[in-house]
Amino acid sequence: MRKSILLPLLSVLLLSPGTATAAPTPTPSPAVRDFGNGPDRNDEAALIPEQFAAKAAETAIPAFDHNRGYPRHTALPIPPENPADASIKLGLIPHHAIAARLNDLQARSDRVSAEIIGRSAGGRDLYLVTVTAPETAAQAREQERLRQRIESGHQIPANRYKAPIYVNANIHGNEWEGTDAALRVIEELATDPAAGDLLKTTRLYFNVTANPDGRVGNKRANDNGFDLNRDFVTASQPEDRAMRQIMIDTQPVTMIDLHGYVNGTLVEPTTPPHGANYEYDLFIRNAYPNGLGIEAAINGLGYTPDKDGVFPVQIPFRDLDEGWDDWPPIFTPQYAPFHGAVAAHTIEFPMQVNNAAYNTLPVEELRRRAQINVNIASAAIHATYSFVKANHDRLIGDQTEVFRRGAAGEPSRVVPLGSVPGFGPEDQWNTTFPRAYTIAAGSPAAARLVDHLIANDVKVGRAVLPFRSGGRTYPAGTYVVDMHQPKRGLANVMLEPGQDISPRVNAMYDISGWSHALLWGATVQPLSDYRVVAEPVRVAAPTGFVPPGHGALALQLTDENDVIALNALLGRGVQVTWTANGRAVLPDSARPAARELADRYGVRFSRSGTAAGAALAPVRVTAAASADDLFTLREMGFSVTPVSTAVLNAGYDWSATDVLFVSSGLNYGALNPAAKAALEAYLTGGGVVTRGATGAAFNAATALLPVTAVAGRSDANGVVRLTSGDYSFVYSPRWFTGLGAGVRAEQTYDSFVSGHWRPNEDGTGGQDAAKGQAAVVSGRSARGAAAVLFGTEPMFRNHPKALFPQVAQALYWTAGTSGASR
């Protein structure tokens, strides 16, 4: 039995510092984003085994070897045959057969090199294939030297440099055909004598399948349940870290990302808004012509609506007003420009074979469609390398100019109207670069941010001496990001607060707000001048600290790593007391463990005088949660048992549950009588933490806290400021009104900082309506259950790191008040 923790303890909780179904008759499918292919993250519970999250954290991405010549023949290990691979039904290559195919191509051609560049969440090999004319080691080193010259913004003799092209396939696992097209084109290039000239002037890099877990498993996400084409600014998943490393190491001038399914085929460039941190004049003048070339190649295949069900290509930039934008750098082609791609394209094949079509159409029809998609994807690859071959020197020059402007610290340029046909005022998006940013050193959050920037190839320095700027003094050791650097666009897109773009845009495709500066817990300041003596940083300095001497130690939960360390201490049986300030206190005898964890996680312990409070034990969480929530709960070191409505209906033993977390896939009304009775018994004293629509509905159905949950506009999202002065993140925001007896507002909305949040058509649900309303509430139900309800999104896609400890504190608090015995 646990001791009860008094309700007022929770008040520190939130003060952390810091189509479509298969259509027998062909119809064009609207250019609606293919995220419609998956269930809403509030509808389906993730039932993912724990092993995958752990693997994702461990997977190291090898650095690219610039010192070897080509070809680099690697004998790829052959995975065991898997007759259940979803590709087989479509007549496409299963993941287990790719390695043998690549080994064969390497044996037959001195143009083909294959290597393993990482492993998926599910442990499957990721293959990078390089196709180029043979190079000696000296020639490869010379190519790398030229690449570095370009990256530093220096002109090179372009005729001596092989333009890098990147083809990314199958990032959505159930959009299969990019992989088969890549293998087809690799095979053509391996042997075709006519390809000799192309391969002397280019290197083509193929990420053969970016998402083998999804390819095998007939699903959009990887085995952690993450959409890999939303993860580039966060890089929580090993597949994204592998793609990021490809883009840094190979520095493609042009890239294409192969998806499905939009009929007629969708080919970017995009509608506005355009990312404000790009050198967009250099981008659009290459991306638009390449898009037109891809269109011509695809339409040139001769497919027709009547004969084949294939409609003509659409280009969002030209053919749509809004809704297919390149604002957030979370997608591959919207991340690649920061590493020098001056043309980057999502391409959506036309013929649907996934979801309902996969399960209902005859196999022959599925295979007919899949072959059309392979042909279209191959045409897109052909068109792209032909474009690069024809515009080789200009693309290299434009990439050089991107980096030169960054290194010189030039202002963001306004792209002239009409610079390509149709480029209007709605396409003009700009930002203001500060001279530099500082990141205050000494916290795990600062170390995390610095290491993340470095992993993204952003240069970070450390002040050797104290310095002054803007009337403030910064101590020696402060991290500094000099914005006169080649990749300043990437630095700024992560460190600026962002913009509230609601006034200029009605419909957005995905998120519109993010900010590593405001949401990752470090203290980040822009500087208007830069007079700092700094030394380059390769890795953030250690931050862990245990005060010397003897006596009890305290750990304030302000960072995810604090939570990880606390859960590790609890797991080792250390006697932890949860005190009145949201602090964990451990006895003097735990000092060896504290020193080890301080060293490993960078957490900072302080002296503690008293240990008045409740004893804390490891918290066992039962979670009906979205995949990203589940991943983050486990990342924090909680023991989580995933459940869903169906799992509970099959009979669930609640005796080992300290807290129930509800954010997705639990519908109280759909529980059978036995499951309801078992749940009700748990709720008599059992703690609950909820998030979002599903959580609010659960609270209402079970009559836990007497509040009314109000939904904001469903597509609203971004960074919000709270009345406490802290920042939070929302997506489909909610707030709570009519707070009954014993319910307190833990957080209150103040203002919207960045992102997109308009009111509904009827004027409700806007950012003004949320102002002053409770964003997070806590309290105790009439049955004694402690509950915390989040209207914010504290674990969204594993991104808002500074908010994770809020969930942890809610779990410790509600578990502490529960009646669960162990």
Contact residues for Zn ion, defined by CB under 5 A: 34, 172, 175, 259
- Give me the half-sphere count of Cα atoms (radius 13 Å) on the Cβ side of residue 456: 31
Closest CB to Zn ion among residues 34, 279: 34
Nearer to Zn ion, 229 or 694 (CB): 229
User: What is the closest distance, in whole angstroms, from the C-beta atom of residue 755 to Zn ion in the complex?
Assistant: 23
For Zn ion, the nearest residue by Cβ is: 259
**Least distance from C-beta 37 to Zn ion, angstroms?**
7
Our CB check for Zn ion shows the closer of 86 and 494 to be 86
**Shortest CB 324 distance to Zn ion, Å:** 12
- Which CA distances in Å does 211 have to 57, 119, 223? 17, 10, 9
Pick the closer one to Zn ion by CB: 169 or 688: 169
**Least distance from Zn ion to the Cβ atom of residue 172, Å:** 4
Tokens representing residue 769 in the block: 């309506």
- Cβ at position 229, least distance to Zn ion in Å: 6
Strands 125-131 and 202-207: antiparallel
Q: Which is nearer to Zn ion, 260 or 442 (CB)?
A: 260
Smallest distance, Zn ion to C-beta of residue 225, A:
16
- The C-alpha atoms of residue 691 and residue 716 are separated, in whole angstroms, by 16
Q: What angle do CA 807, 214, 452 make, to 5 degrees?
A: 50
Q: Which residues in 283-299 are b (16+ Cβ under 10 Å) and which e?
A: bbbbbbbbbbbbbebbb
CB of 428 vs Zn ion, minimal distance in Å: 28
If the CB atoms of residues 34 and 629 are measured against Zn ion, the closer one turns out to be 34
Nearest residue (CB) to Zn ion, 378 versus 556? 378
SS3 397: helix
Cα–Cα dist 774/763, whole Å = 20
Nearer to Zn ion, 121 or 449 (CB): 121
Closest distance of CB 38 from Zn ion, Å: 10
Q: What is the DSSP letter of 34?
A: G
> Shortest gap between Cβ of 646 and Zn ion (angstroms)?
28
Closest separation in Å from C-beta 207 to Zn ion? 14
312 phi and psi, to 5 degrees? Answer: -65, 160
Q: Which of 255, 332, 321, 675 is nearest to 660 (CA)?
A: 675
> Residue 227 CB, nearest distance to Zn ion (Å)?
9
The SS3 of residue 717 is strand
Six-digit token string for 750: 């103040």
Residue 259 CB, nearest distance to Zn ion (Å)? 3
d(C-alpha 817, C-alpha 219), whole Å: 40
Contact by Cβ (8 Å): 309, 17: no
**Closest of 347, 423, 421, 333 to residue 383, by C-alpha:** 347
Residue 570 CA to its chain's centroid (Å): 30
Burial class (CB in 10 A: 0-12, 13-18, 19+), 196: exposed
The nearer residue to Zn ion, 180 or 658, going by C-beta atoms, is 180
- Least CB distance to Zn ion at residue 274 (A): 20
DSSP state string for 112-168: EEEEEEEE-TTS-EEEEEEE-S-B-HHHHHHHHHHHHHHHTT----GGGSPEEEEEE
| Smaller CB separation from Zn ion, 161 or 176 | 176
Give CA–CA dist 240/243, Å, rounded. 5
Residue 746 backbone zone (phi > 0: left; psi -120 to 50: alpha; other: beta): alpha
DSSP bridge partners of 731: 717
- Residue placing its CB nearer to Zn ion in the complex, 222 or 809: 222
- Least distance between Zn ion and beta carbon 28 (Å): 18
Quick one: 259 or 797, whose CB is closer to Zn ion?
259
User: CB–CB of 349/261 below 8 Å?
Assistant: yes
By beta-carbon proximity to Zn ion, the closer residue of 175 and 180 is 175
Strand order in the sheet with 534-536: 524-527, 436-439, 479-482, 461-463, 534-536
Select 135 or 175, whichever has its Cβ closest to Zn ion.
Answer: 175
Give me the residues paired with residue 727 across strands: 721
d(CA 207, CA 98): 12
